[in-house]
Every structure is written in structure tokens, then in C-alpha cells.
């Protein structure tokens, strides 16, 4: 069964936390966590389970008309694109990319499930999930993307790159190359996602229609800009991890505040992508971190 068939047929599926599904919910990666993630393995269909979990969560969001459905649906389609690229052999280390992609997605899904259960997720997600329902679908997608890339992605990288691997220049270069290869997958989705959001939004003002080509190019550039900063932030977090739990917690708290501030700024009225041209999409931990 293809990934697209899986998503189409799993509307009634309710994925619970299974042993083969990677769950990352620790403030500092615990000793041995990398081995646990590796044990899940590329061959245990973890990305298929991830896509099924996403589909199961999307159904009630769509039924309720919940604004969180816009980012969720976009993310699900992007995950399918990553799965397709894995099958195509588009990464230097597909096993690692799959473990990383699942660890990354689980940070968002855990935040969403906490919010749906009436609990408080991390601050960037509180702001993104609590955005006014009347914002355009594109804005909800950008809010989710920003919280997820800026805050969750550096943590996901640390979950699948050990301290020793951060010191291995050749291995780290391969990891960074696969990190950059994901940019190509994201860039390839921009036009299709823009068309889908335009369809959902209905007729748009003339200025918005005129700016669409520039917005698409801008989105691709902003994604690459943010992910470059993510890599630098992951290195900063890894340095803090080596200094102990307190240092790591302090730097992670800095990242949470910076990410939350960026999500808040994205809720301001106006042409948000044009504003990002001046301010950037990503955040960067201070050098002293």
C-alpha cells in the first residue's frame, strides 16, 4: 500500500503509543535514548505509523472546523513527501533521516495532544494553537511552521545526534547534508501548498494575487534561512548539554522565549511574508549560549 493509500484509508484508525513509535518527551536527552530510537529502526514502518497517527488526529480537527487543521494537514502532506523521498533514496542516511523525522514530528503531535486534552504545551505552541480562528489559513500554517521549526527542530536533532557524533566532523557533515536535503523537499511543496491554501481561503484581494509569486519564492528562502539557524542552535544546545542539565535547561528556555516571540510577531496584521523579508523567519540563540 502506498503512503497516499494509507492516509486515504486510515480515517478510522486511532494510533496509540506503540513500542515501535518513537516518543521524545524529555527536557534533556537521557543516557541511552539514542540507542532506544535506533532500536525502533527504519524497517519497523515508523514513518507509516506516524502518517497514520497524523491522519487519525486530522479527522476530528477537520470535523470540528478547528483552525489547527490547516497546519496539521500541511504537515501531513509534507511528511508523505519526505516518506516518498526516503523510498526514492534521496538521502545519504535514510535510516537516520527517518528516525529524525519521526522524533521531530512527535514533538508537535505531543504538543497538539496535550492542547486537545486541556493541558499547556510549550509556549510557542500555546501561542500558535491559541491564534484567532479568523486568521487566514496561510497564517495558521506559518504560525505552526515557525513554532515547530524554530523550537522543536533543534531538539529533534539532539535526540538523534549524540555528543560523540557532534565531535565527528565527517559524520556531522553527512547529517548536515541530509538536513539541507530536507529543504529541497520543503521547497518542492511550496507551490502545491500555496494552491491548497488559496483554495481554502476563497477569493483573495488583488494585491495578494499579485504577490503570490513573490510569496512563494519568499517562503522557500525563509525556510532555508530558518533551518540554517536551526543547525547553529542545535550546536549551541549540544554545547549546553555537555555542561549538564541545568545549562541545557537554561539555553532551551532561551530558545523557547525567542521562538514564542517570533510566533507572536507573526500574528500582526498585514503582509506577513513581506515583513519576514526584513525580520527573518528563524531565531538565533545568542553567541554566549
CA 186 – CA 180 distance, rounded (Å): 10
C-alpha cell at 93: 542516511
In this prediction, residue 253 carries a pLDDT of 98
Q: What is the pLDDT of residue 115?
A: 96
Q: Which three cell numbers stand for residue 129?
A: 494553537
Any idea which residue has 536535503 for its cell? 181
Rg (alpha carbons) of the chain, rounded to whole number = 18
Q: Which of 281, 234, 224 is nearest to 255 (CA)?
A: 234
22 vs 19: CA distance, rounded Å: 7
CA atoms of 151 and 207, how far apart (whole Å): 32
> In whole angstroms, what is the distance from residue 8 CA to residue 183 CA?
26
CA distance 142 to 71: 8
**Residue 59 DSSP SS3:** helix
**51, 119 in Cβ contact below 8 A?**
no
Please report the sign of the dihedral spanned by the C-alpha atoms of residue 216, residue 126, residue 258, residue 133. Answer: positive
Instruction: Tell me which DSSP letter residue 151 carries.
Output: I
Secondary-structure percent of the chain, ordered helix, strand, coil, rounded to 5: 75, 0, 25
Q: Write the burial class of residue 278 (CB in 10 Å: 0-12 exposed, 13-18 middle, 19+ buried).
A: exposed
How much is the pLDDT for 191?
60
Name the one residue in this structure whose C-alpha cell is 495558521.
Answer: 140
Q: What is the pLDDT along the chain (289 residues), one digit of tens a residue?
A: 333 443 333 333 333 333 333 332 323 333 333 333 334 333 346 898 999 999 999 999 999 999 999 999 999 988 998 998 998 898 999 999 999 999 999 999 999 999 999 999 999 999 999 999 988 888 898 899 899 999 999 999 999 999 999 999 999 999 988 988 887 787 777 666 656 655 655 545 433 443 344 444 445 556 667 778 998 999 999 999 999 999 999 999 999 999 999 999 888 877 666 666 667 788 999 977 6
Q: What is the pLDDT of residue 180?
A: 82
Give the dihedral of Cα atoms 174, 179, 180, 183; nearest 10 deg. Answer: 160
Q: Which pTM value belongs to this model?
A: 0.75
Alpha helices in 41-68 (DSSP H): 46-64
* Selection from 136, 138, 118, 5 nearest residue 71 by Cα: 138
- Looking at residue 39, its pLDDT comes to 41
Contact (CB, 8 A) for 127 and 263: yes
Pairwise CA distance, residues 149 & 143, whole Å: 10
Is the separation of the CB atoms in 201 and 195 below 8 Å? no
C-alpha cell of 67? 483552525
Check residue 99 and give its pLDDT.
93
Amino acid at each position: 500500500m502506498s503512503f497516499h493509500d494509507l492516509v486515504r484509508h486510515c480515517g478510522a484508525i486511532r494510533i496509540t503509543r506503540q513500542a515501535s513509535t518513537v516518543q521524545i518527551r524529555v527536557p534533556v536527552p537521557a543516557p541511552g535514548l539514542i540507542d532506544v530510537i535506533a532500536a525502533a529502526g527504519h524497517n519497523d514502518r515508523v514513518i507509516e505509523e506516524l502518517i497514520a497517527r497524523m491522519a487519525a488526529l486530522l479527522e476530528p480537527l477537520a470535523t470540528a472546523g478547528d483552525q489547527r487543521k490547516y497546519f496539521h494537514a500541511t504537515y501531513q502532506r509534507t511528511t508523505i513527501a519526505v516518506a516518498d523521498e526516503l523510498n526514492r533514496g534521496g538521502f545519504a542516511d535514510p535510516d537516520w533521516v527517518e528516525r529524525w523525522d519521526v522524533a521531530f514530528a512527535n514533538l508537535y503531535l505531543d504538543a497538539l495532544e496535550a492542547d486537545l486534552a486541556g493541558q499547556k504545551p510549550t509556549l510557542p505552541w500555546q501561542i500558535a494553537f491559541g491564534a484567532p480562528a479568523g486568521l487566514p489559513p496561510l497564517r495558521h500554517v506559518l504560525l505552526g511552521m515557525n513554532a515547530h521549526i524554530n523550537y522543536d527542530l533543534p531538539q529533534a536533532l539532539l535526540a538523534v545526534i549524540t555528543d560523540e557524533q557532534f565531535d565527528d566532523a565527517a559524520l556531522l557533515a553527512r547529517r548536515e547534508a541530509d538536513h539541507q536535503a530536507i529543504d529541497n523537499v520543503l521547497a518542492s511543496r511550496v507551490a502545491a501548498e500555496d494552491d491548497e491554501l488559496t483554495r481554502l481561503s476563497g477569493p483573495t484581494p488583488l494585491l495578494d494575487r499579485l504577490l503570490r509569486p513573490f510569496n512563494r519564492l519568499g517562503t522557500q528562502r525563509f525556510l532555508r534561512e530558518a533551518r540554517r539557524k536551526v543547525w547553529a542552535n542545535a550546536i549551541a544546545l549540544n554545547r549546553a548539554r555537555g555542561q549538564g542539565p541545568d545549562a541545557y535547561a537554561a539555553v532551551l528556555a532561551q530558545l523557547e522565549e525567542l521562538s514564542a516571540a517570533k510566533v507572536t510577531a507573526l500574528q500582526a496584521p498585514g503582509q506577513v511574508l513581506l515583513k519576514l523579508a526584513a525580520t527573518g523567519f528563524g531565531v538565533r540563540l545568542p553567541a554566549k549560549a
